[in-house]
Amino acid sequence: MSDFTVALSTAPAAPAWGENTRLSFSETGATIHLSEDAAPERIVQQAARKLDDLSLRAVALTGEWSKSLQWAFALSYTRARNPGSIIWADNEDADDLAREYSALLFTRKLVNDSPEDLSPETLSMRAASWLKELGGDNVSYTITSGEALNEAGWIGIYNVGRGSERPPAMLELDYNPTGNADAPVDAVLVGKGITFDSGGYSIKSSEGMLTMKCDMGGAATVTGSLGLAISQNLQKRVKLILCCAENLISGHAYKLGDVLTYKNGTTVEVVNTDAEGRLVLADGLMAATETGAPLIIDAATLTGAASVAVGPDYHAVFSMDAQAREKMLSCASAEYERFWPLPLEPFHKDRCPSPFADTANSRPMKGGGAGGASNAAGFLARFVNPQGKGWIHLDLAAAYNGSATSEMPVGASGIGIKSVARMLHEF
């Protein structure tokens, strides 16, 4: 049986297929009809979604395809369950696309898996095992979990995760291709790994909780990014820190009104247990800062406010370092991934005041109030160097689709892995 072929054409479809149709069929496959008055990536993505609905086992891209259009097809064609395989167009981009697609599939599967199958420790082990497989002896790691987190002073991860019977965990992984144990660390990636988020005592609605297996999308994204960079023969030393926990309710769970004292002396009043992501990331950012790395990128499905601001198509970018922010945006543009800057100033550190601590973890109102995404970034800014030099915070509004759209399948998107990988190479 021959492969189902998909070709591109700038010619319109035959009139029998309907006026302005973008997809027509033949005995051997389909043709996507591009148009001068519409973005080609969007046309390809919409056609890929229609083809994906046919549950094809495999498609072969034939004819003249640019790398960006092949990637656009892959993003939209690859459904969450039993995805069909793709045979890339026969050009010089096939090997690069295969590496990128492998990282995309790993990232998406990690997010899409059932929360019952992905405990905090399991998330840490799966990330570490995959990167070890790619990086071999250049990769080493440790996992700290349960009471050992509290003893080590990682009180954010510990407190958010102590309500669950499955212990919280912190993965610290070192990719060091230099062969020198004393080599400086070039970059650190930090990921929010909340494997399920009930909201804690600030409990979510059933509808709001349904997709909360995706709340470890930040951890998956930075893991996928590092894995992609390793497969691209990255020659820089990079550390990965995943902050993993289940945010559940029990007699052991952390509570509203608790005050947490972090390693750097910052005290935090908990006014919303559903603002847990920033509490775990604070630990990861302190660990990252201790390395002295000139670049720190954290990624998290952190706030609904970011989604309100930029919608489901963009990731929000925050940084007090203009040069780092612009470089991140430039990398995203080069990879055809949508990133958009939102405000972050030093005064945002003080936008969640508390009479009982240095700061609260949010504002005691729905969504954290106006500017909630910037206020969350301001909270995180307390845990990096005071000027925020070299630090970039990504609020991943485009990480997950609760339902399929005309351009993207339901579930994890994997958007961002290519941009962060490029950033590791170029910063």
Residue among 22, 126, 239, 278 flagged as catalytic: 278
Q: Which of 66, 38, 33 is nearest to 50 (CA)?
A: 33
- How far apart are the two ends of the chain, measured CA to CA in Å? 47
Q: How many CB atoms within 10 Å of residue 424?
A: 23
Q: Which of 229, 137, 119 is nearest to 174 (CA)?
A: 137
Supply 158's token pair.
Answer: 């510990």
Q: Using an 8 Å Cβ cutoff, are 41 and 69 in contact?
A: yes
Q: Please confirm, yes or no, whether 22 is among the known catalytic residues.
A: no
Residue-wise DSSP of 260-303: EE-TTS-EEE-S-TT--HHHHHHHHHHHHHHTT-S-EEEEE---
Please report, for residues 24, 79, 298, 371, the alpha-carbon distance to residue 405 in angstroms, rounded to integers and kept in the order given. 20, 12, 27, 27
Cα 53 to Cα 154: distance, rounded to the nearest angstrom: 45
Which residues are registered as beta bridge partners of 7?
A: 31, 62
Q: Please confirm, yes or no, whether 132 is among the known catalytic residues.
A: no
Residue tagged 């599967």 (tokens): 109
Residue among 79, 204, 263, 389 flagged as catalytic: 204
| DSSP secondary structure code for residue 233 in this structure | T
Distance of CA 111 to the CA centre of its chain: 9
| DSSP secondary structure code for residue 83 in this structure | P
* Catalytic sites, residue numbers: 204, 278
